[in-house]
Amino acid sequence: MQKKGSYNSLIVDRLKKKYGVSRRYITMSLSGDRVSETSDSIKKDYRRLSERIDQALNS
């Protein structure tokens, strides 16, 4: 069985608005179940936003 990932819901909601896709599509993209240009962009944006949040919290 594959372990279910835990993703920041604020980032997922922001990506949902930006790309106009479902939460499910975003989580599947992040887990690697979807492969497309949009999925790659979602992964990059998620990582970038997550890093910015971590930096803000650690400052």
Going by the DSSP 8-state scheme, the letter that residue 44 receives in this structure is: H
Q: What is the pLDDT of residues 15-40, one digit of tens each?
A: 999 999 999 999 999 999 999 999 99
Q: Domain locations in the chain?
A: 9-58
pLDDT of residue 43 exceeding 90 = yes
CA distance 3 to 25: 17
Q: What is the mean pLDDT of the chain?
A: 92
| The pLDDT of residue 3 | 65
Name the pTM for this structure.
0.86
| The pLDDT of residue 59 | 85
Residue 11's pLDDT band (cuts 50, 70, 90): very high
18: amino acid identity, one letter:
K
